[in-house]
Amino acid sequence: MAFSIPHTLRASLDARFTMAVSVFSMWAFRIGFAYLFVYIFKLGVMGIWYGMFIDWIFRAVGPCMAGRAPMLPHRRENSQTDRMGGR
């Protein structure tokens, strides 16, 4: 799920939101939790993996919570239906 949702959003021309979620989750979850697990909890390399798993979980759940998941319809400004007069 963490990889299919961003690609689906990019395909629907929603790359800005995808990039923002990716950059935020990389720094906040992957690097932040890896630092926490490695240096505070002394888990070593396994702490890096735990940080990556937390990042992947957020990337799978984050767009769903923001209402941007591909299975949830959302309307963007300047969509093709707007240009065609609402058809």
Q: How confident is the model over 61-84, as pLDDT tens digits?
A: 776 766 665 554 555 555 555 555
pTM for the structure as a whole: 0.60
Could you read off the pLDDT of 12-25 as tens digits, one per residue?
A: 666 777 777 778 88
Give me the pLDDT at residue 26, please. 87
d(CA 56, CA 50): 10
Q: Which of 47, 53, 55, 49 is nearest to 6 (CA)?
A: 55
Could you read off the pLDDT of 34-56 as tens digits, one per residue?
A: 999 999 999 999 999 999 999 88
pLDDT at residue 7 greater than cutoff 80 = no
Q: What is the DSSP letter of 72?
A: S
**Selected residue with higher pLDDT from 28 and 79:** 28
